[in-house]
Chains A and B, each alone.
Chain A
Amino acid sequence: DVKVTQSSRYLVKRTGEKVFLECVQDMDHENMFWYRQDPGLGLRLIYFSYDVKMKEKGDIPEGYSVSREKKERFSLILESASTNQTSMYLCASAGGYGYTFGSGTRLTVV
Chain B
Amino acid sequence: QKEVEQNSGPLSVPEGAIASLNCTYSDRVSQSFFWYRQYSGKSPELIMSIYSNGDKEDGRFTAQLNKASQYVSLLIRDSQPSDSATYLCAVKPPGGGNKLTFGTGTQLKVEL
Contact = CB atoms under 8 A, between A and B. Distances in A.
Contacts, number: 49
Interface residues of B, number: 20
Interface residues of A, number: 22
Contact of A43 (B8, B46, B88, B98): B88
A101 B44 contact: yes
A48 interface: yes
Interface stretch (B16-24, B64-72, B76-84, B102-110): B102-110
Nearest to B4: A42
Contacts of B44: 43, 90, 99, 101
Contacts of A41: 104
Contacts of B99: 33, 45, 48, 58
Contacts of A104: 42-43
Interface of B: prevailing SS: loop
Given A40-B104, A42-B103, A50-B97, 11 more contacts: A33-B99, A41-B104, A42-B102, A42-B105, A90-B44, A94-B98, A98-B46, A99-B44, A99-B98, A99-B100, A102-B43
Interface of A: 31, 33, 35, 40-43, 45, 48, 50, 58, 90, 94, 96-104
12 contacts: A31-B97, A33-B99, A41-B104, A42-B104, A43-B102, A45-B99, A45-B101, A90-B43, A90-B44, A94-B98, A98-B49, A99-B90
